[in-house]
Amino acid sequence: EDQVTQSPEALRLQEGESSSLNCSYTVSGLRGLFWYRQDPGKGPEFLFTLYSAGEEKEKERLKATLTKKESFLHITAPKPEDSATYLCAVTNTGGFKTIFGAGTRLFVKA
Amino acid sequence: ETGVTQSPTHLIKTRGQQVTLRCSSQSGHNTVSWYQQALGQGPQFIFQYYREEENGRGNFPPRFSGLQFPNYSSELNVNALELDDSALYLCASRDGQMETQYFGPGTRLLVL
């Protein structure tokens, strides 16, 4: 069964303290892996799409990487405004269903 | 370019009632998906519509149904509401040739 597991559930960082979020997945043929940011009570905001192992994408302080079994979201020198829940999702080759993980809640303290 | 919009923003219903939620897709997007997100959890896939036909469904009972219109806007209907249906309902749209979905702001449903 297709599955997405994110760790840790919550992460508390000091401003400037770099770290990584993990997304482990099991899928019957990967069509795409997605990272979203979600602020409380709002819809997810798109960050990255990764398609194949070895692919990397960057945006400001964020960098997403992909292997055959997991993806990492690296946060370099985070700021308090990076505090949010980060969601990972996968779509299988059928393309008809997207499965989300439970998310990692990131807190960045000034 | 107009993003995904949803209405209403908040809704309160009582158990056993029926509810209709609405979504306008982002311009140029012909595929729409609906998700249920309980507090503290990730979004759970309900179903997907492509060119007015349902072409994918998650583990939700038949009392969750939908429609997609020729202009690619969409509705989610839930009959016989239960307390556990209280959640944030999210609509997401994409171009059928692309994989990335873009989400609306959601509708917060509270069932009493």
B79 vs chain A: nearest CA distance in angstroms? 23
* pLDDT (0 to 100) of residue A94: 74
* pLDDT (0 to 100) of residue A2: 87
Contact B101 A34 (CB under 8 A): yes
Nearest CB to B99: which of A31, A41, A101?
A: A31
* pLDDT (0 to 100) of residue B97: 76
Please determine, for residue B1, whether its predicted confidence score (pLDDT) is greater than 70: no
Please tell me which residue of chain B has the smallest CA distance to A101. B42
Contact A34 B40 (CB under 8 A): no
A91 vs chain B: nearest CA distance in angstroms? 8
- B42-96 confidence digits (pLDDT tens): 999 999 999 899 988 999 999 999 999 998 899 999 999 999 999 999 999 998 7
Going through chain B in order, the beta strands assigned E by DSSP cover 5-7, 10-13, 19-24, 31-37, 44-50, 53-57, 64-68, 74-78, 87-94, 102-103, 107-111
